[in-house]
Chain A
């Protein structure tokens, strides 16, 4: 699952805008496949973003977050060239962690 989390960032003065795009099906459990069978729910439940051991955002999601979730937020006091770490865990016990360098 390389490139499962895409990160874009832009630092302007003291504030960094961080934008994430995470590859994930985010199945609601209500959708039927071509054979008319319900596709089991499969969605990210927990997301945490840390900067130098400090949590800068944590989220809890339900299946109503769109497929391939997009998230943008702003953080103060971060520096260009430093790394952020993004981790998620879904309802099927799958998880992923990725790092990105702030721009």
Chain B
């Protein structure tokens, strides 16, 4: 790599760090490591958390029994201040992390979506609030698994 190219790259990375580059709609990168993780602890660590605490300010609603594991409706909401992200973790899926959402100011920390579950297990809603991680957990029983089906 010649010096000019190196300087240009350095300048671009500085500009990016300073937020000066235009942000395309999908500029961020998919967190492959977190989506490949096989345990709740590992996912939390890869999302930048450490020892999350259970909180009654985080609500995870879902069915007690999901007859079809391919479509399990979930609603996650948070009353914690500055809830900046919400992640859905499914303990016994082949990969633990199902989805993560970045919640900018102005968007309410209240997400509804549908996920696949391979078997009966705990589902975790992990919320980052003021830089710290909190969670709510719920066991959902699955009659028919939804990952291979």
> A-side interface residues toward B, CB under 8 Å?
15, 28, 30-32, 45-46, 48, 50, 54-67, 69-77, 85, 87-89, 91, 95, 97
Q: Are B25 and A50 in contact (CB under 8 A)?
A: yes
B31 near A: Cβ within 8 Å? Answer: yes
B:82-116 near A, CB below 8 Å? 90, 93-95, 97-104, 106-108, 110-116
Main secondary structure of the interface of A (DSSP, over half): strand
Q: Are B108 and A73 in contact (CB under 8 A)?
A: yes
Q: Given the complex, which residues of B lie within 8 Å of A85, measured CB to CB?
A: 25
Number of interface residues of B (CB under 8 A): 38
Q: Are B103 and A57 in contact (CB under 8 A)?
A: yes
A-B contact pairs, 11 of them (CB 8 A): A30-B94, A32-B148, A64-B97, A65-B99, A65-B115, A66-B71, A66-B146, A71-B113, A72-B111, A75-B106, A85-B25
Q: Are B26 and A89 in contact (CB under 8 A)?
A: yes
B149 near A: Cβ within 8 Å? Answer: yes
Q: Given the complex, which residues of B lie within 8 Å of A77, measured CB to CB?
A: 106
Q: Are A62 and B102 in contact (CB under 8 A)?
A: no
> B-side interface residues toward A, CB under 8 Å?
23, 25-26, 28, 30-31, 35, 70-73, 90, 93-95, 97-104, 106-108, 110-117, 146-149
The 5 closest A-B CB pairs, nearest first, are: A64-B98, A72-B112, A66-B114, A45-B30, A74-B108
Further contacts, 13 of them, CB under 8 A, given A15-B108, A59-B102, A72-B113: A31-B147, A54-B104, A54-B106, A55-B23, A55-B25, A59-B101, A60-B35, A61-B99, A64-B98, A65-B116, A70-B73, A70-B114, A75-B107
Q: Are A62 and B35 in contact (CB under 8 A)?
A: yes
Min CB distance B79 to A, Å, is 14
- Complex: how many Å from CA A71 to CA B108? 14
Min CB distance B74 to A, Å, is 10
**Chain B: CB-nearest residue to A48:** B25
